[in-house]
Amino acid sequence: MSKKVRVRFAPSPTGGLHLGGVRTVLYNYLFAKKNEGEFIVRIEDTDQSRYVSGAEAYIFDTLKWCGLTPDESVQQGGNFGPYRQSERKEMYRQYAEKLVAAGKAYYAFDTPEELEQMRHSDSTTSHQYDHSTRMKMRNSLSLTDAETKQLLASGSGYVIRIKMPKGETIAFTDMIRGEVKFDTSLVDDKVLLKADGMPTYHLAVVVDDYLMKISHAFRGEEWLSSAPVHILLWEYLFGLKNMPQWAHFPLILGPNGKLSKRDGAKYGFPVFSMNWTDPKTHETTAGFKEKGFLPEALINYLALLGWNDGTEQEIFSIDELIEKFSIERVHSAGAKFDFEKAKWFNHEWIKRSSAQKLLPQVKAMLIAEKISHGTDAQLEKIIDLVKDRCTLLTDFVQQTTFFFKSPDTWDTEAVKAKWNDEKKNFFESFAEKIKNSPADAATLENIFKETAAEKNIKPGELQLPFRIMLVGGKFGPPVFHIAEQLGIEETILRINTAIKLF
RNA sequence: GGCCCGUUCGUCUAAGGGCUAGGACACCACCCUUUCACGGUGGUGAUACGGGUUCGAAUCCCGUACGGGCUACCA
């Protein structure tokens, strides 16, 4: 019997949630759903100096847009709260003190200046706070008990550091990478409890994963190096048998290495799923949503960036992902984000989406552009006509505007070379003939062809000019379908307007 | 610098000792279409390098190179 699957995503609210974070959420979510477990979001806000207002709300907005709803979080609530570490502050100290009492951790009184000096000193080889340097520092190991007591009583600031053992090998099995080993001599004495009484990530993650009964701890590869600290803490505090299983996901890389929040603008593609405005600088970093992406497409691409189901299937709905996902098939190497492929996924999802589903979003864009959008029924037909031509949702603006608004510029260059009086005459007759005809595409096409035959002109040669008249440019769905949507009156109007310009 | 992780077409990846190393994006050509697309067909293009182990290595082992991560009282 295995314990209930419970996974957590634990972001710190220090800014926008970038692609790597979204994918980490996704894999957590997929694993939880696949195993009928619970997905928890825990806010790791133990660093008060890095707090960014609005970041937490933004993270939840992102999850909502992506459709990755937590089962427990500060928003949903749950039986293991509070889900914000700043509100759990009082819970951590006892564990740190317990470690001190057991000789696994110690008080350290060094000032930032003293730490700085040690790191740049030539007299040490490690330049880090570890077994080789700690006896030269001011802590409860190097000081006498009396001195330590005195310092603690005097109220001078102190932190609690883990006492990393010397010369031991810590090994654990990563679900993606297999066995990973570390020599404890090379790991430094990480701070567990800060001078302000807040835990560091290292203590908090272990304590909370235990208290929240986390069964599988998944996080980015950037955490692999600190795993030995966490393993040791588990061993000292709660026992290795109770430790969750670990998996460290490969990183998502930008064009020049590590994907960075700050470089969002430079890449030419978003790094956030939704627009993020920094509350201090008021700078806005573009998001996939506003860029015209469907959440299904982003999720689909992110899922495939580092995972595949072993077949050649590429398009997956979230339900299919849940069904097929497995940690074992997550690739171990980092993956470069390819914006072109992301767009391809979006195009595929637009093509597969019904007009009805696309309608609200297309309508919202047209409203934002102050373009009338006709009735819903009409817009739906138009969306069906043009969606194959739209890679991004924003493409719908150009592809649908001419249905509602007469062009104000015409690609006359495209027709001028082959334009002549016979063709002009054709369009005059055509406009006259359709006056009382039904407006369906087939009828219009028949009249068009009959008239062309009468005038002895190949109908093909007349289609491009007709298109330019109705659309203004060389794009859009079949021209008679456009005319059908426009209606007889508007079609005649556009013919008469444009005919003077050629 | 030290430690850890990684390395198959330009990019994402499949192939976990045995067939011409497969697919997708992108790119090119052709077909369809007298618009732009969609669609279809075909093409260019990869096992980082060097040693082993083996009848046989992209696959296992070692080394080198390269890439990435970590090395804070940040997560």
Which strands, in side-by-side order, build the sheet including A216-220? A38-41, A6-9, A216-220, A245-249, A169-174, A178-183
Which strands, in side-by-side order, build the sheet including A252-254? A257-258, A252-254, A335-336
Among the listed residues A466, A286, A318, A467, the one whose alpha carbon sits nearest the alpha carbon of residue A394: A286
Measure A311 CA to B20 C1' (Å): 21
Measure A6 CA to B7 C1' (Å): 33
Measure A176 CA to B62 C1' (Å): 23
Q: Determine the nucleotide nearest to A157 by Cα–C1' distance.
A: B73
Amino acid at A312: E
| Nearest-angstrom CA–CA distance, A385 and A476 | 9
Both A96 and A182 in one domain: the answer is: yes
Classify residue A274: in a domain, yes or no.
Answer: no
Measure A174 CA to B61 C1' (Å): 21
Both A435 and A382 in one domain: the answer is: no
| Nearest-angstrom CA–CA distance, A104 and A106 | 7
Both A357 and A433 in one domain: the answer is: no
Preceding peptide of A478 cis, ω within 30° = no
Classify residue A156: in a domain, yes or no.
Answer: yes
Lookup: tokens for A316? 């997956």
Return the ∠ at Cα A29 (arms to A317 and A314), rounded to 5°.
30
Measure A137 CA to B46 C1' (Å): 54
Query: Per DSSP, which regions of A331-456 are E strands?
Result: 335-336
Measure A191 CA to B72 C1' (Å): 9
Both A391 and A427 in one domain: the answer is: no
Q: Which helix H or strand E contains A350, and what residues bound it? A: helix A339-352
Can you give the residue range of the structural domain that contains A434?
Answer: 406-501
| Nearest-angstrom CA–CA distance, A73 and A94 | 24
Cβ neighbors of A435 (< 8 A, separation 6 or more) are A488, A492
Measure A255 CA to B67 C1' (Å): 13
Both A389 and A440 in one domain: the answer is: no
Exactly one of A33, A104, A194, A261 is catalytic; name it: A261
* Residue A121, pLDDT score: 77
Classify residue A478: in a domain, yes or no.
Answer: yes
Q: Determine the nucleotide nearest to A226 by Cα–C1' distance.
A: B70
Judged by DSSP in three states, A452 sits in: helix
Classify residue A447: in a domain, yes or no.
Answer: yes
Cβ neighbourhood burial of A200 (10 Å; 0-12, 13-18, 19+): buried
Contact A15, A55 (CB under 8 A): yes
Q: Return the CATH number at A152.
A: 3.90.800.10
Q: If DSSP states are collapsed to H, E and C, what string results for A237-251?
A: HCCHHHCCEEEEECC
Q: Determine the nucleotide nearest to A342 by Cα–C1' distance.
A: B25
Q: Return the CATH number at A433.
A: 1.10.10.350
Among the listed residues A42, A374, A48, A387, the one whose alpha carbon sits nearest the alpha carbon of residue A196: A48
Q: Return the CATH number at A361.
A: 1.10.8
Both A101 and A144 in one domain: the answer is: yes
Lookup: tokens for A186? 């090379």
**Predicted TM-score of the model (pTM):** 0.95
Contact A388, A453 (CB under 8 A): no
Instruction: Name the protein residue, with chain letter, whose CA is nearest the C1' of B7.
Output: A333
Both A497 and A413 in one domain: the answer is: yes
Contact A169, A181 (CB under 8 A): yes
Q: Determine the nucleotide nearest to A475 by Cα–C1' distance.
A: B36
| Nearest-angstrom CA–CA distance, A129 and A187 | 9
* Residue A417, pLDDT score: 84
Domains in chain A, number = 3
Both A363 and A427 in one domain: the answer is: no
Would residue A416 show up in a list of annotated catalytic residues for this protein? Answer: no
Both A414 and A361 in one domain: the answer is: no
| Nearest-angstrom CA–CA distance, A201 and A206 | 8
Both A105 and A183 in one domain: the answer is: yes
Contact A387, A351 (CB under 8 A): yes
The total of other beta-carbon atoms located within 10 Å of residue A428's CB is 13
Lookup: tokens for A319? 């339900």
In order along chain A (502 residues), what is the average pLDDT of each group of 10 residues? 86 93 97 98 95 95 97 96 95 97 96 89 77 93 94 92 95 94 95 96 98 97 96 97 96 83 77 93 92 97 96 96 96 94 98 96 93 92 96 96 94 89 94 92 94 92 95 95 95 94 87
Nucleotides of B under 7 A from a protein CB: 1-8, 10-15, 22-26, 34-39, 67-75
Q: Determine the nucleotide nearest to A338 by Cα–C1' distance.
A: B11
Classify residue A47: in a domain, yes or no.
Answer: no
| Nearest-angstrom CA–CA distance, A293 and A300 | 11
Cβ neighbors of A289 (< 8 A, separation 6 or more) are A65, A273, A274, A275, A295
Boundary of a domain, candidates A343, A374, A396: A396
Q: Determine the nucleotide nearest to A341 by Cα–C1' distance.
A: B25
Boundary of a domain, candidates A204, A226, A248: A204
Boundary of a domain, candidates A204, A221, A237: A204
Q: Which helix H or strand E contains A470, and what residues bound it? A: helix A459-471
Both A383 and A436 in one domain: the answer is: no
Classify residue A448: in a domain, yes or no.
Answer: yes
Classify residue A493: in a domain, yes or no.
Answer: yes
Distances from the Cα of A501 to the Cα of A411, A437, A467, angstroms: 10, 26, 14
Both A371 and A440 in one domain: the answer is: no
Amino acid at A191: V
| Nearest-angstrom CA–CA distance, A358 and A384 | 9
Classify residue A193: in a domain, yes or no.
Answer: yes
